[in-house]
Amino acid sequence: MERGVSVYHYLLEVRKKRGAGYFVLLDPDKLPRTELLALAEKASDEGADLLLIGGSLLLNSGFDELIRDIRDRVRIPVVVFPGNTMQISQYADAILFLSLISGRNAHFLIGEQVRAAPILEHIGVEPISTGYMLIESGRQTSAEFMSNTRPIPRDKPDIAKATALAAEYLGMRLVYLEAGSGALQPVDPVMIREVADYVNIPLIVGGGIRTPEQARERVQAGASFIVTGNVLEEKTNSSLMKEFVDAIHDV
């Protein structure tokens, strides 16, 4: 992607040309810096469409410098996936401006956003308004614990549909169905299909997707973008990232 091009419009083009896009999520707390940089370069070289950087916590310093160094090494957008306002960087191409619409904790619905908005305006990073929905995955996730909210039950697609539609009516540009880091079960394709059929904005799906087959199934159900993270850190299959790329883009 050329520098200066809107990341959001780039994503719409990815969806138009490839049917769906693939995001690689890197958590600064999960890997040493050298391994994060290597994984970022691998994602760029093997055909991922975008890098998400962030996590529920931030135990290490140097977030801004990490984003800068990653951006210098890759040819795809580097987008912050923030757990809080500490995860903002002037070097990012964009930030998912998340509102945790599945919960009723006002701090994560609007509180953190009010704190972050003036900072983003000052540094000029593109905000992409995103309705963030935690979906029950079989275990309590970090995002659920840190936000002090309950996820939407995985067998209640009607709640997910109504919540996603409210996000669209509020003017949000994306909806993110998130099973969470280390989820036992990814978001059910039935829920994905019903939400995708009900709203007119792109759908991101992540959490617990461990195989290219699972990724493909969720694209076929209506996901516009697939996110994987933990599974790529295990280093048991060096070709796995390329397999995800092919499975998602070939649908």
Write the pLDDT tens digit of every residue in 192-233: 999 999 999 999 999 999 999 999 999 999 999 999 998 987
Domains of the chain are 7-249 (3.20.20.390)
pLDDT at 3: 58
* 8 A C-beta contact, residue 152 and residue 160: yes
Q: What is the mean pLDDT of residues 29-54?
A: 96
pLDDT at 205: 98
Say how far apart CA 23 and CA 1 lie, in whole Å: 14
The residue type at 251: V
Per the prediction, the chain carries an average pLDDT of: 95
How confident is residue 56, by pLDDT bands cut at 50, 70 and 90?
Answer: confident
- Which residues face 134 on adjacent strands? 178
User: What share of the chain in percent tops pLDDT 90?
Assistant: 88
Q: Is the pLDDT of residue 65 over 80?
A: yes
Q: Is the pLDDT of residue 76 over 80?
A: yes
pLDDT at 38: 96
* 8 A C-beta contact, residue 129 and residue 136: no
Helix (H) or strand (E) segment spanning residue 189? helix 189-198
The DSSP symbol for 222 reads: T
Q: How many CB atoms lie within 10 A of CB 13?
A: 15
Q: Is the pLDDT of residue 234 over 80?
A: no
Could you tell me the two tokens for 47? 């055909």
Q: Residue 3: name the closest of 57, 54, 106, 76 by CA.
A: 76
Q: What is the mean pLDDT of residues 39-56?
A: 96
pLDDT at 5: 74
Interval 143-182: pLDDT, tens: 999 999 999 999 999 999 999 999 999 999 999 999 998 8
* 8 A C-beta contact, residue 99 and residue 113: yes
Q: Is the pLDDT of residue 20 over 70?
A: yes
3-state secondary structure of 251: coil
Say how far apart CA 10 and CA 107 lie, in whole Å: 30
pTM score of the predicted model: 0.96
Classify strands 225-228 and 94-100 as parallel, antiparallel or unpaired. unpaired
Rounded CA Rg of the chain:
16
What's the N-to-C CA distance of the chain in angstroms? Answer: 22
pLDDT at 235: 66
Q: Residue 154: name the closest of 80, 214, 90, 102 by CA.
A: 102
User: What share of the chain in percent tops pLDDT 70?
Assistant: 98
pLDDT at 150: 96
Could you tell me the two tokens for 190? 């039935």
Q: Is the pLDDT of residue 125 over 80?
A: yes
How confident is residue 132, by pLDDT bands cut at 50, 70 and 90?
Answer: very high
Classify strands 50-53 and 203-206 as parallel, antiparallel or unpaired. unpaired
Interval 78-93: pLDDT, tens: 999 999 999 999 999 9
- Which residues face 165 on adjacent strands? none
* 8 A C-beta contact, residue 72 and residue 89: no
